[in-house]
């Protein structure tokens, strides 16, 4: 059990080093998708925020979150569950994915 945990920690540390080196070399920000927890270049993610219990495109001020294209297209139930649990908002499953995709296609 201890060896498994040590192996996991070493892999996690290696990942962090890899991304730190990538961002230092190119001086380009790396952000994390809130759904899959993978790290991407900032320009490869869609940025949203919550305003008055609704999801909107990032307006430039306030807190925001990033979602990758794979998660945006993927499992809508998982997307809804994470957004509802994390931001305490109620979103209907039909509207959630459609709204995010609509915002993404109208502009980043």
Please count the residues of the chain.
108
pTM of the model: 0.67
CA distances from 43 to 72, 78, 81, 108 (A): 15, 23, 25, 9
Which domains can be identified in the chain, with CATH numbers?
A: 29-106 (3.30.1230.10)
Using CA atoms, how far apart are residues 84 and 26, in angstroms rounded to an integer? 35
Instruction: Determine the pLDDT at residue 38.
Output: 93
Residue 56, SS3? Answer: strand
Instruction: Determine the pLDDT at residue 66.
Output: 93
Using CA atoms, how far apart are residues 24 and 9, in angstroms rounded to an integer? 22
Per-residue confidence of the chain (108 residues) as pLDDT tens digits? 555 545 555 556 666 666 555 555 567 899 999 989 999 999 999 999 888 877 888 998 988 999 998 888 887 788 888 888 887 777 665 566 667 777 777 755
Residue 89, SS3? Answer: coil
């Amino acid at each position: 059990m201890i060896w498994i945990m040590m192996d996991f920690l070493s892999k996690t540390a290696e990942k962090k080093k890899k991304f730190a080196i990538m961002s230092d070399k190119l001086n380009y920000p790396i952000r994390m998708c809130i759904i899959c927890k993978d790290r991407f270049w900032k320009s490869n993610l869609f940025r949203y925020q919550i305003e008055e219990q609704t999801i909107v495109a990032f307006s430039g001020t306030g807190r925001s979150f990033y979602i990758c294209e794979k998660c945006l297209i993927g499992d809508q139930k998982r997307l809804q569950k994470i957004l509802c649990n994390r931001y305490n908002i109620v979103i209907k499953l039909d509207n959630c994915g459609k709204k995010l995709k609509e915002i993404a296609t109208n502009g980043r």
